[in-house]
Amino acid sequence: MRVTQPLLKQIAKPFKRAWAAKYPYQVKEMPDIPDDIEISDPLKKTEWNRRKDLEPASQSVDEKELPGYNTQPVWEFTNINRFIEGIKQAQNLTKTVVYSGMPESVSALMNEVEHPDQNDLLKRIILQSQVWDPSQQKLPRRIDKSCIKWNFQREYGIPRNKSIHILGTNMVRLANSLINARYPAAFKDQQLIIQPAFDAFYTFMGEKIVIKSTSNYLLMGPNPLPRFTDEDTVRRTNDEVIPDMYPILPTIDFKSTHFYDLINNIGFRSSTEFHPHIFITSNCDYWNDDSRQARSMMYCLAHTIAEARLRFGKDVQTLPEPICVQTASVGETGLNFVFFQLNTLDFSSQSGVKNQAWLDTGNNLYTKILSQPWNGEEFLNHQYTDFTAEPFSKLLAVMQYGLNPS
């Protein structure tokens, strides 16, 4: 017999009557209250005698008296600033000539470090980030544009941000172990710093710009990163023309603030024995690759400016030698790379020698196909296809660039 709601009500009624008969309700007598105790009605509004030190602070606080306030405002760039013009806008702000692909000096190192079980290890890393992690958190409700009327049930699993973090962390750990086996000196010469905060500032067309954020990892070496091109190629950038954004100002997406500190650091505010080689970030947003690469270019500019001032002094204008840095941004299914070479600190005009950046975009490790239950039983679960190890080989080449063979 099925226990339904009406049947439960029928069972509950005699049970309540039997309980009431066995344990009748009794009204307890109130104890006598002494005459010297005053009884007040709790529902009656009364004036509270508040202590002066518990009074709320005055809301009219002058912001000029707060710490970190400066009279002259600056433009601030953080990880939430998305450029309306993408890479074109980043080119104007960084005075950079952009090339497609990897520099030849870096791409020549691909396949120098390999492991016989490399593909199997990468597949395990992908499954760890997508399936095997024990996280069971409530995921956002899905909406599929191909079948907008389908009502998806609430899913529990690995959050997208955590999945990207697991993928990036495990790939860095695997690449670091393989490189240390090939270059034993790298085990003691390199430093892998977790979540370093970086800050830098520069003057663009007479206006101060502050760049600050935090990356996931920063790999540093005992020697500065070698330059990506020779002096002749740098000299030819005089003839390059940076795309014009008129009538839009390049600083249109920045936030003006009076609260800032003009400092330059890449995790270290003073000079250090180590120099930045590559920093790794996570793409946990839903931006397109153009916006993500533009943000990475700004991060590279911050690292190279801070490194240049740490090495050559705070007032350096003409660089004795270029400053180079690399970045890898990890997404849900792949990586993007930026190789940046700082050739000049003159941002007063768009003429003269320019900086250089190589963008390698769209390196997918695999393809993730979300479930589509309306297409049949074969599409009830997520599918992972089109695996390729080439993006990881590029990461190995990037991480070993600048190492001394031993």
Q: What is the 3-state secondary structure (H, E, C) of the chain?
A: CCCCHHHHHHHHHHHHHHHHHHCCCCCCCCCCCCCCCCCCCCCCCCCCCCCHHHCCCCCCCCHHHCCCEEEEEEEEECCCCCCCCCHHHHHHHHCEEEEECCCHHHHCCCCCCCCCCHHHHHHHHHHHHHHHCCCCEECCCCCCHHHCCCCCCCCEECCHHHHHHHHHHHHHHHHHHHHHHHCCCHHHHCEEEECCEEEEEEEECCEEEEEEEECCEEEEECCCCCCCCCHHHHHHHHHCCCCCCCCCCCCCCCEEEEECCCCCECCCCCCCCCEEEEEEEECCCCCCHHHHHHHHHHHHHHHHHHHHHHHHCCCCCCCCCCEEEEEEEECCCEEEEEEEEECCCCCCCCCCCCEEEEEEEEEECCEEECCCHHHCHHHCCCEEECCCCHHHHHHHHHHHCCCCCC
Question: What value does the mean pLDDT take over residues 262-279?
Answer: 82
Lowest mean pLDDT among 48-52, 117-121, 146-150, 231-235: 48-52
The reported pLDDT for the residue numbered 60 is 65
What is the percent of the chain with per-residue pLDDT over 90, rounded to a whole number?
50
Across 152-178, average pLDDT: 91
Structural Rg of the chain based on CA atoms: 31
Neighbours of 58 (CB within 10 A): 6
Query: What confidence tens digit (pLDDT) does each residue in 217-231 have?
Result: 999 988 899 999 999
At 270, the pLDDT band (50, 70, 90 cuts) reads low
Residue spans per domain, the chain = 73-400
Average pLDDT (155-161) is: 90
Q: How confident is the model at residue 330 (pLDDT cuts 50, 70, 90)?
A: very high
Output the pLDDT for position 120: 94
Inform me whether the pLDDT recorded for 47 exceeds 60: no
Confidence of residue 165 (pLDDT cuts 50, 70, 90): very high
Query: What's the gap between Cα 353 and its chain centre?
Result: 31
**Contact 366/333 with Cβ under 8 angstroms?**
yes
366 vs 164: CA distance, rounded Å? 13
Residue of 94 and 187 predicted with greater confidence: 94
Mean pLDDT, to the nearest integer, of 353-366? 94
Q: How many CB atoms lie within 10 A of CB 100?
A: 8
Query: pLDDT of 205-257, one tens digit each?
Result: 999 999 999 999 999 988 899 999 999 999 999 989 999 888 889 999 999 99
Residue 104 has pLDDT above 90, yes or no: yes
Indicate the pLDDT class of residue 337, thresholds 50, 70 and 90.
Answer: very high
What is the token pair recorded at 48? Answer: 């509270």
- Bigger pLDDT: 184 or 393? 393
CA dihedral 143, 149, 155, 158 (to 10 degrees): -20
Whether this prediction's pTM lies above 0.75 is answered by yes
Residue bearing the bigger pLDDT, 316 or 227 = 227
Give per-residue pLDDT as tens, 115-145. Answer: 889 999 999 999 999 999 888 888 888 888 8
Q: What is the mean pLDDT of the chain?
A: 87
Confidence of residue 59 (pLDDT cuts 50, 70, 90): low
Residue 1 pLDDT exceeds 60: no
Q: For residue range 276-310, list pLDDT tens digits in order.
A: 999 999 999 999 999 999 999 999 999 999 999 98
Specify the pLDDT at position 273.
80
Roughly how many angstroms between the first and final C-alpha of the chain, as a whole number? 79
Supply the pLDDT for residue 164: 94
Whether the ω angle into residue 34 lies within 30 degrees of 0, i.e. cis, is no
